[in-house]
Structure 1
Amino acid sequence: MSEKLVRVGTTYIPVTNVALSSDWYTEKLGAIKNYQDEDKAILNLANQSIFLVKSKVGETLNFVDNNGQDRFALTFEVDGLDNLISLHNEFIENLVQVGQVENRGHAGRNFVFEDPDGNKFDVWSELSPSYKEKFNMQ
């Protein structure tokens, strides 16, 4: 079967204050702002379009898994453990709320961070093989 869905083009993230969140994503994560109004901001981040959408307080991307653990919906990738550790340290220096670097029993290491609204995101130290191949990063 051929692949029908080629890539994730846009992720929508609920935020309570579009201007504050847009500034946070550009300053802390290096996103590029393309558009902003009172209800949304459109950013480029990690080869994807990110829409920050004004939402009610308490709305997040997070969900609770079967074991009652609050989980993230999105994992970013970096190229290797050294880059993961460097980014983790940079986030700490920039006062981003981060968890510990974890060994989850699979290749690479991960850590979780949060935006100002409590949206959780994961970072993994392994670039997917298809991404590396596509961009000649072998």
Structure 2
Amino acid sequence: MTDASHPAIGFGRIACMLPVKDINTAYDFYAGVLGFTKTFQNGNPVGFMILKNGGAELHLTLQPKHKAADFNIAHMMVDNVDALHALCQRHGLRIIKSLQNKDYGLRAFVFEDPDGNRIDVGQPIRP
């Protein structure tokens, strides 16, 4: 549905902004564990960083007093949710919701990153 008073708007990418207490620790996790690559950083000391992996993009913002929310702040679609779940377990990350097939067509789980940010991960269930 479009509003006749506004022109049609085409949206490009939308990137998730993740608040982190220590940007180097967050970078080590997202790059070292999940395979993201740093494409930009800003500040001295660094207070902002852009990471990419395939079509996914994360923006890390330094927030030293960050207190994690008690809800999911990002959703990632992946092509091997079981492998990511196993990787999270190997690295001792807290699993908030266990890996399971959902009635809405995703195999999914929720984990906390090192800053306590809850990330919902899903993969479409193929017939």
TM-score, normalization by structure 2: 0.75
Give the match's secondary structure for 1:41.
Answer: strand
Which consecutive unaligned segments of at least 5 residues does structure 1 have? Answer: 63-69, 128-138
* TM-score normalised by length of structure 1: 0.70
Measure the CA separation in 2 of the matches of 1:53 and 1:59. 13
Aligned residue in 1 for 2:71 = 71
Instruction: Name the % identity.
Output: 27
Structure ranking higher in helix proportion? 1
CA distance in 1, matches of 2:40, 2:67: 22
In the TM superposition, what is the alpha-carbon distance from 1:5 to its structure 2 partner? 4.0
Aligned counterpart, 2:5:
none
The structure that is strand-richer by fraction is: 2
Query: Map of 1:101-116 to 2, 5 A cutoff?
Result: 101-116=99-114
Deviating 4+ runs (over 4 angstroms): none
Paired residue total: 116
* Alignment RMSD: 2.3
Deviation of the 1:8 alpha carbon = 3.2
User: 1-side partners of 2:95 and 2:63: how far apart?
Assistant: 23
Is the 1:108–1:124 Cα contact (8 Å) retained in structure 2?
yes
Shift of 1:46: 4.7
Shift of 1:15: 0.5
Q: Which residue of 2 aligns with 1:43?
A: 51
Q: Does the 8 A contact of 1:103 with 1:110 survive in 2?
A: yes
Any unmatched runs of 5+ in structure 2? Answer: 3-7
